[in-house]
Amino acid sequence: MAKGAGESAPAPTSPAAGSMSYPTTPLLTVAIPTYKRAQTLRRALDSVVTQLPAEGGVEIRISDNASPDETPAVAAEYGRRYPCIRYSRNEQNRGADFNMYKLVRESSGEYVYMLSDDDVLLPGALARILTLVRQHPDVGFFYLNGIGFQLTERGEPRYFPKPVIWPDQDFVSPDRNAFLGFLKLQLTFVSALLFRRQLWNTDGRGDRFLGTDLYMSFEVVRVMAASEQYMFVAGPLVGVHAEYTAGSYNIFHAFARQWRRLLLIEAVAVGFDHRAMKGVFRASMEPLAERLLAIKRGAVRHDLGWRNLWVIVSSTYDTPGFWRQILPLLLAPAFLLRAVSRGKQILRSGRGTKVNPAP
């Protein structure tokens, strides 16, 4: 379990790199897609290599999307110290989707865990993952809970007090519809995804999801369709770098249009229940509305535009949340929303300020 807010999780002790042996077919591949984040990649690698088991069985694969920074040097440095690391570099930046597609395709492990280059494995997480896959051979897909962290002024992680998802108990489910309904949009969190590689891209057509910005989510739905059981691992194993940005209206191309396609077309095509998936999509409206509110309150430099407006409306118009939340937010002037937000901040600040009584 990660430390609470205000505390930094201690780094575990690593066995000597030279004392490790690595089987030809590892049990687990930790796959790290990266682009132009040399320093956060170093932090992510440290969180993994300090937990490598002495008996081997784990490989680390890094795919670099033609980073113009020191990423190749960082990968080479760790590769010299840890023979289980495999580094490859794309000749040009081909996008995050392709980077992940390539990583899984080149992985050797029986199981693949995808770790974003700005997230970390928490202490003890790797041993826990290896235990899980050995103890639950019927589970084809594991969802690993996370806990957010921010960096202090000294560059040390400070963890939030609560995990990303509640409840705090592990559970195994044989019901794909219920499990996806439990996760909802959290399925798009890449650093939570652990799955049996044999079930990935079984028809060889996974490349058709490239460019959706939700490639791994599309593939995981197909992994789930081929699995007997699914497991939610509650005790946080992943440290999630909480670097908040308002974003832009372009995110709705993924989280409205492609998310709709994922649930109502692709998931149904591989055996999920259409009515259940429609319910999942409707339940996704609240976080989408929250994102829309954050965008309009934030410093978005470009207008909504007809293209983005069409994506939002055409993807969400047939849900109650569109009429209750999304449409009113679309119509509300951004300056008014910012003014309301600022007023609430002032009120909260005033309630939290103690005023000394007059003498």
Residues 259 and 198 occupy one common structural domain? no
Q: Pick from 207, 241, 275: which residue ends a domain?
A: 241
pLDDT digits (tens, 9 = 90+) for 126-137: 999 999 999 999
Determine, yes or no, domain membership for 318.
yes
Residues 86 and 185 occupy one common structural domain? yes
CA distance 261 to 281: 10
Average pLDDT estimate for 337-356: 68
Determine, yes or no, domain membership for 162.
yes
Residues 104 and 177 occupy one common structural domain? yes
Residues 88 and 226 occupy one common structural domain? yes
Determine, yes or no, domain membership for 159.
yes
Residues 236 and 255 occupy one common structural domain? no
Average pLDDT, the chain: 89
pLDDT at 304 over 60: yes
Residues 255 and 231 occupy one common structural domain? no
Give the per-residue pLDDT at 85.
97
pLDDT digits (tens, 9 = 90+) for 187-197: 999 999 999 99
Q: Supply the CATH number for residue 38's domain.
A: 3.90.550.10
Residues 253 and 236 occupy one common structural domain? no
Give the per-residue pLDDT at 299.
61
Determine, yes or no, domain membership for 12.
no
Residues 187 and 264 occupy one common structural domain? no
pLDDT digits (tens, 9 = 90+) for 306-323: 999 999 999 999 999 999
Q: How far is CA 298 from CA 50, 294, 302, in A?
A: 39, 6, 11
Q: Pick from 189, 209, 241: which residue ends a domain?
A: 241
Preceding peptide of 167 cis, ω within 30°: yes
pLDDT at 213 over 70: yes
Please give, one letter per residue, the 3-state secondary structure of the chain: CCCCCCCCCCCCCCCCHHHCCCCCCCCEEEEEEECCCHHHHHHHHHHHHCCCCCCCCEEEEEEECCCCCCHHHHHHHHHHHCCCEEEEECCCCCCHHHHHHHHHHHCCCCEEEECCCCCEECCCHHHHHHHHHHHCCCEEEEEEEEEEEEECCCCCEEEEEEECCCCCCCEEECCHHHHHHHHHHHHHCHHHEEEEHHHCCCCCCHHHHCCCCCHHHHHHHHHHHCCCEEEEEEEEEEEEECCCCCCCHHHHHHHHHHHHHHHHHHHHHCCCCHHHHHHHHHHCHHHHHHHHHHHHHCCCCCCCCHHHHHHHHHHHCCCHHHHHHHHHHHHCCHHHHHHHHHHHHHHHHHHCCCCCCCC
Give the number of domains in the chain.
2
- The type of residue at 78 is Y
Residues 135 and 222 occupy one common structural domain? yes
CA R_g for the chain: 22
Residues 198 and 321 occupy one common structural domain? no
Average pLDDT estimate for 339-343: 79
CA distance 307 to 136: 46
CA-based nearest residue to 293, from 285, 302, 283 = 285
- The dihedral through the CA atoms of 160, 156, 18, 58 has a sign that is positive
Determine, yes or no, domain membership for 115.
yes
Domain that holds residue 328: 249-345
Q: How confident is the model at residue 19 (pLDDT cuts 50, 70, 90)?
A: very low
Residues 67 and 110 occupy one common structural domain? yes
Average pLDDT estimate for 6-20: 39
Q: Pick from 216, 241, 266: which residue ends a domain?
A: 241
pLDDT at 39 over 60: yes
Give the per-residue pLDDT at 302.
61
Residues 227 and 260 occupy one common structural domain? no
Determine, yes or no, domain membership for 156.
yes
Average pLDDT estimate for 33-55: 96
Those residues whose C-beta lies under 8 Å from the C-beta of residue 122, and which sit 6 or more positions away, are 2, 9, 47, 147, 236, 237, 238, 239
Determine, yes or no, domain membership for 333.
yes
